[in-house]
Structure 1
Amino acid sequence: MAPTPGARTREDGCTLDVLDRGPIHAPHIDGRAPFTRIAGVPGVSAQTVARRYRRLRTDAGLRVVGLTDPHQAARTQWLGG
């Protein structure tokens, strides 16, 4: 089977295409963006984006973690080790 145009293959053999990159990139822009808005960019259904997101979480280990921006909150960020 021919690769999807624009697809990239990771070292572990997992191929990421434009539909996979949407749920990965969207939280950087808006951490609360619903699948319906993410789906509008490539013009697919929200169900397709949700299915891709679940696959990325299960197979590729995708994790979305929310952190506050200390500069916007006028606070200092302390990280312990």
Structure 2
Amino acid sequence: MSVRLDGDLIVLEGPCRVEDAEPLLGYLQADRSRIVDLTEAEHLHAAVLQILMALRPGLRGSGRNSFMRDWVTPALMTARAIDMAPPHG
């Protein structure tokens, strides 16, 4: 399994497959303040990515390959920043 809980940190390692989506969702639902560490992640299945985009947890690291660093992590960080921005008005 590529998802593990280390205290209040959810660590994603190697290729995160579809079967990793359910434990990731459970960890985040149990405590929304948990941080997801992407440092050692190599690939995120679309189901894992969708959970991260929907729940927008705090993130650490940016992945082990250029696609993760250049595209996936910035997209997740942008979605989180938009979610945390104060409302206009």
TM-score, normalization by structure 2 = 0.29
Structure whose residues are more often helix by fraction? 2
The structure that has the greater radius of gyration is: 1
The structure showing larger relative contact order (alpha-carbon pairs under 8 Å, at least 6 residues apart) is 2
TM-score, normalization by structure 1 = 0.31
